[in-house]
Amino acid sequence: MGTQGSSTPLETRVQSATDVSFDEQADIVVAGAGGTGLVAALAACEDPDISVHLYEKADKAGGNAALSTGMIPAAGTRLQQDAGIEETPADFVADVMAKNGGNADRAMVEHLCQTNIDLIHWMVDEWDITLHLVADFKYPKHSEYRMHAPDGRNGENLVAEFVERIREQPNIAFHTQRPVTGLVAEDGAVCGVLVDSITEDGELENDPTAVAAEKVILATDGFAGNTEMVTEYCDEMVDALYYGSPGNTGDGIRLGKELGGTLACMDAYQGHATVAADTETLSTYAVIMNGGIMVNSDGERFGNESAGYSKFAVSVVQQPGNIAYEIFDKSIFDSLRGEFEDFEKAIELGSYIHGETLSEIAEKLDLPVEQVNETVATYNDAVAAGEPDDTGRVDGRSVLSAPFVAAKVTGALFHTQGGLVVDKNGRVLREDGSAIENLYAGGGVAVGISGNGAGGYLSGNGLTAACGLGRLAGIDARKTL
């Protein structure tokens, strides 16, 4: 499997409290400083008398949230209303459930779609997090403008603001290169964690510190960087480029399972259909949803691109050499300048080629000239006629005209969407529906709202569940101490 810096899965274990002598103590421990962990820590620290320890395996915070656009969808927010958009959480629920074919837990979808209104307002009003409503394009299958984005539409900027706020809180102790490698339990209830250290050489010290905790929130993300687990659960993507955080090795999932947590939707994941093949940078899917198309090495389209960047990633992976080509025009290119920092980075690294004609583009990409011209002409005719094209696509189309732009892309695996089953406060559940006392999970550790496979992923599902459950878990952990 290709990597964007995957790492060796940690050896994790659950240890009995009778075998542990605690070295440190905290009220709440948060394992992992991605979107879930950062939000959970902020929500937990709002009582100044509570001590929160936040541990991150990597040398900096962020995880997959930093690699994303940082956009959080929510329906019914003040930001929408200020833009003249009136919709309800039920509209958002309908889109999520339609995309996953009804295979996700509807009650959880409804809960997150409702509470994410409060999440957005809480982030903006209570923590001064910069978010603005994206009202110039819609990702596939979103029926309304509901993406709330950080500056630059870049997750690194969102993470940076979270970290800045966390550093300002006197009751949060934030540690990097300190992975949680174990849970400590007594009579089935969690009462602490084992925390190890990463050396300057990137090796585990194997000398864990035992930290007593009243509550533990697992936020170590999913397993997309664990080849063994990907092979077991998502084998169709095992040969795809891995474009996720190196910390996604399934640590929290394995810990929760060992303690009796039940798993669901382990075959669910988010893929990326448009990672620039030569530079391994993300080419925003706004290129496609503003009218671009994808062709294979024969110059032919191979599916309906508006199915979404996750589902369409599978189609790209199935092409020879896991290679496809984006074709769009300069008007689309120009419209996206300055909107996405990822797009600017891809431009800077030389991911795009330009040509006055399609023939020039085809020649530069070593594609069959006649077929590329015919493919684009057929697409343009359907758009001009207002009819579905040969793939059935009707969304996000525009007539492509000279001059043209193109990129050689590959399909990639970003993050997984299956994991531990949790309740509406993020508490980890056993198979019989009972909660494991004092243990919470969110983000990639917990089952998401995308159902099964890649096709159920609606843009923003990841951060909807990650930040949403992070806040809910942090609140519940704080209030139930």
Length of the chain: 481
Helices assigned H by DSSP within 153-298 = 155-167, 227-233, 251-258, 286-289
Confidence of residue 202 (pLDDT cuts 50, 70, 90): confident
Average pLDDT over residues 309-325: 95
Q: What is the pLDDT of residue 320?
A: 95
Q: What is the pLDDT of residue 390?
A: 95
Cβ-based neighbour number of residue 89 at 10 Å = 19
Q: Are 442 and 217 in contact (CB under 8 A)?
A: yes
| Joined tokens for residue 123 | 């982030």
Beta-carbon contacts of 20 under 8 Å, excluding residues fewer than 6 positions away, are 184, 192, 194, 210
Task: Please provide residue 312's backbone torsions phi and psi, each rounded to the nearest 5 degrees.
Answer: -70, -20
Q: Report the DSSP beta bridge partners of residue 16.
A: 185
Q: Residue 122's closest CA among 474, 480, 478, 477?
A: 474
Confidence of residue 200 (pLDDT cuts 50, 70, 90): confident
Half-sphere exposure of 213 (CA within 13 A, CB side): 32
DSSP structural state of residue 320: G
Q: What is the pLDDT of residue 5?
A: 42
Cβ-based neighbour number of residue 10 at 10 Å = 21
Which phi-psi region, left, alpha or beta, contains residue 308 (left: φ > 0; alpha: ψ -120 to 50)?
left
| Joined tokens for residue 190 | 């969690």
List, for residues 286-295, the tens digit of each pLDDT value. 999 999 999 9
Helices assigned H by DSSP within 132-226 = 155-167
Confidence of residue 3 (pLDDT cuts 50, 70, 90): very low
When the pLDDT of each residue in the chain is averaged and rounded to a whole number, the result is 96
Q: What is the pLDDT of residue 2?
A: 43
List, for residues 362-402, the tens digit of each pLDDT value. 999 999 999 999 999 999 999 999 999 999 999 999 999 99
Q: Are 290 and 336 in contact (CB under 8 A)?
A: yes
Q: What is the pLDDT of residue 4?
A: 42
Q: What is the pLDDT of residue 389?
A: 97
Residue 6 has pLDDT above 60, yes or no: no
Residue 205 has pLDDT above 60, yes or no: yes
Q: Report the DSSP beta bridge partners of residue 24.
A: 211
List, for residues 70-125, the tens digit of each pLDDT value. 999 999 999 999 999 999 999 999 999 999 999 999 999 999 999 999 999 999 99
List, for residues 230-278, the tens digit of each pLDDT value. 999 999 999 899 999 988 999 999 999 999 999 999 999 999 999 999 9
| Joined tokens for residue 182 | 């174990």
Handedness of CA 197, 269, 158, 345 (dihedral sign): positive
Residue 388 to residue 35: CA distance in whole angstroms: 38
Q: Are 85 and 55 in contact (CB under 8 A)?
A: no
Rounded percentage of the chain residues whose pLDDT exceeds 90: 94
Residue 11 has pLDDT above 90, yes or no: no
Residue 286 to residue 284: CA distance in whole angstroms: 5
Q: Which domains does the chain have, with CATH numbers?
A: 13-268+418-479 (3.50.50.60), 269-413 (3.90.700.10)
Q: Residue 396's closest CA among 388, 408, 404?
A: 388
| Joined tokens for residue 385 | 């006629």
Q: Are 36 and 64 in contact (CB under 8 A)?
A: no
DSSP output for 333-380: HHHHTTT-HHHHHHHHTT--EEESSHHHHHHHHT--HHHHHHHHHHHH
Half-sphere exposure of 42 (CA within 13 A, CB side): 28
**3-state secondary structure (DSSP) of residue 90:** helix
Whether this prediction's pTM lies above 0.75 is answered by yes
- Cα 65 off chain centre by: 6
